[in-house]
Amino acid sequence: MKNLYLASKNQGKIEEYKKLLLNVNCQLLLQPESIEVKEDGITFRENAIKKASEVSKKTGNYAISDDSGICIDALGGNPGIYSSRYAENDQKRIERVLNELDGEENRGAYFIANICVCSPLGDVILESEAKCFGNIILNPRGESGFGYDPIFEELSSKLTFAEMDNDLKDLCSHRGRALKKITPELLKLFA
């Protein structure tokens, strides 16, 4: 069984990937604590490639990474690539977004995920992108998920990501959709 390193230290993302990659015949390992990757790209794609490439080269194994975030119409697409750095923790990030949208009628937003898989030499071998559209609600709802999940209401279900069960979230989330696009290639790669 081949190793696949997830280029992330985000525990919520790690748990999500374990479920999403359940059918892929690989040993999913966490990015070693000793590896630090500076996310200084100007796009989600650049950051995803940088993370996967550095982790794959430093571990000598395949690596998968995504850079994802929330883009809010009324905030000119912010927080965007700075979603995880918009404040010091999830609660403060949610509070900041809600404060910035106070009195705003246009609450349209979308989550985006760029996924990249790199070979043990750091070469990009798979890429994918997907979006999930919705709105930012006035008050958090739901108990599961992480990040902005409690304030993002997905368009078709009218549920926040934090209200969804895992199966529904995997089906309609940006990360689930992006990973689904490359799953057939991952199954071949790790056959």
Confidence of residue 105 (pLDDT cuts 50, 70, 90): very high
Question: Whole-structure pTM over 0.85, yes or no?
Answer: yes
Residue range 165-181, pLDDT digits in tens: 988 998 899 999 999 99
User: Which one is catalytic: 66, 67, 149, 170?
Assistant: 67
pLDDT at 70: 98
Residue range 49-104, pLDDT digits in tens: 999 999 999 999 999 999 999 999 999 999 999 998 999 999 999 999 999 999 99
Yes or no: domain 2-189 corresponds to CATH 3.90.950.10: yes
Residue range 11-50, pLDDT digits in tens: 777 778 888 898 999 999 989 999 999 989 999 999 999 9
**pLDDT at residue 123 tops 80:** yes
Active site residue 165: no
Cβ-proximal residues to 163 (8 Å cutoff; 6+ apart), any chain: 141, 142, 144
pLDDT at 18: 85
3-state secondary structure 101-141: CCCCCCCEEEEEEEEEEECCCCCEEEEEEEEEEEEECCCCC
pLDDT at 19: 86
Answer whether 78's CB lies under 8 Å from 19's CB.
no
Q: What are phi and psi of 152, to 5 degrees?
A: -105, 110
The token duo for 81 is: 């690539």
